[in-house]
Amino acid sequence: MREASRQEPELEDSMKVAIVQQPPVYLDIERTLERGAELIAEAAAQGAEMVVFPEAWIPGYPTFVWRLAPGAGMGKTDALFALSQANSVDLGRGGLDPLRATAREHGVVLVVGFQEVDGATSGSTLYNSCAIVDADGTILNTHRKLMPTNPERMIWGFGDGAGLRVVETAVGRVGALLCWENYMPLARYALYGQNIDIYVAPTWDSGQSWLATMQHIAREGGCWVIGCATALQVSDIPESLPYRAELFGEGEDWINPGDAVVYKPFGGVHAGPMHAEKGLLYAEIDPAAARAARRKFDATGHYARPDIFTLTVDRTPRPPVRFD
């Protein structure tokens, strides 16, 4: 584990958040859920009231799509997709129930990135999704990534605006956008306008440009910002993965260094970044401090110009065609 690395003033009404920088059991949903429950219990034992998992942590981000050669090589996607699909979360069948039960047992709020299959519709299309689970185990919100990025479109369908919501949890008002959705100004604005305290950005991205984005959002939104990607090494990829030797080169070590980080409202880095290291990053934060930080700049409040700018968000769920 790692505590916040910088000396910060005492926070009057603080709570501890834990950011997961451990890999899943790659493309094995049952063992990944077991590992997730263990990490939640570990974080709770250290006093964490909120635990955050990276993008598509269940059952593991499909990093292989960025490594497949164009053209004939794309045919290899079939076997990899089938394995990934078979290990995806179906919420209609209680796919997150083990983590929900653990959240309820320990009284912690969860933000969980997962790959979703909707068995109630096509049963085949996958989504990059994120759930916010309250301390009593209730799923308060599920968001599907609006726009899969580049080759991700070979794996994931398009989400909708139904989950562009900030929800009241046991630790404050929490919202989340996935990876490059955080580059979408209107998606960010849709969350800012809901009195957000804690803005979570589960991702596969890392590095200085991503960290700069997280800091920008903290200033723009006047909120706590948590960024987290899966720390993954080649040794975490099972030998049984189809085309493993071709996809992961000899001598390669870190596929993703993680870079878990927390930025404070309208300020600088508060904890991390945790680079090329596995564990849990802990930070003490005061959710209510976000509202006071917006005294100087409130993007959807006193600094907005509703007489000039308007934003309409269509939150109608748009699943694939369904036959009753």
Q: What is the DSSP string of 182-198?
A: GG-HHHHHHHHTT--SE
Cα separation values, 243 from 59, 70, 74, 75, 238, Å: 18, 15, 12, 11, 11
The single-letter DSSP state of residue 245 is H
8 A C-beta contact, residue 88 and residue 126:
yes
Among residues 100, 1, 101, 8, the alpha carbon closest in space to that of 47 is found at 1
Active-site annotation holder among 16, 116, 145, 152: 145
145 among known catalytic residues: yes
Active-site annotation holder among 42, 49, 55, 181: 55
Cα separation values, 17 from 40, 49, 200, Å: 11, 6, 11
8 A C-beta contact, residue 109 and residue 174:
yes
Cβ neighbors of 308 (< 8 A, separation 6 or more) are none
55 among known catalytic residues: yes
8 A C-beta contact, residue 271 and residue 225:
no
181 among known catalytic residues: no
Cα separation values, 121 from 26, 59, 90, 158, 321, Å: 26, 21, 11, 14, 7
Active-site annotation holder among 16, 116, 179, 228: 179
Measured CA to CA, the distance from residue 250 to residue 21 in angstroms comes to 24
- φ, ψ of residue 261 to 5 degrees: the values are -155, 155
Strands (E), the chain: 15-21, 48-52, 109-117, 126-133, 139-144, 167-169, 172-176, 198-203, 224-229, 232-233, 254-256, 258-263, 269-275, 279-285
| CA trace torsion 65, 68, 73, 77 (10° rounding) | -20
Measured CA to CA, the distance from residue 280 to residue 163 in angstroms comes to 27
Which residues are the active-site residues? 55, 145, 179
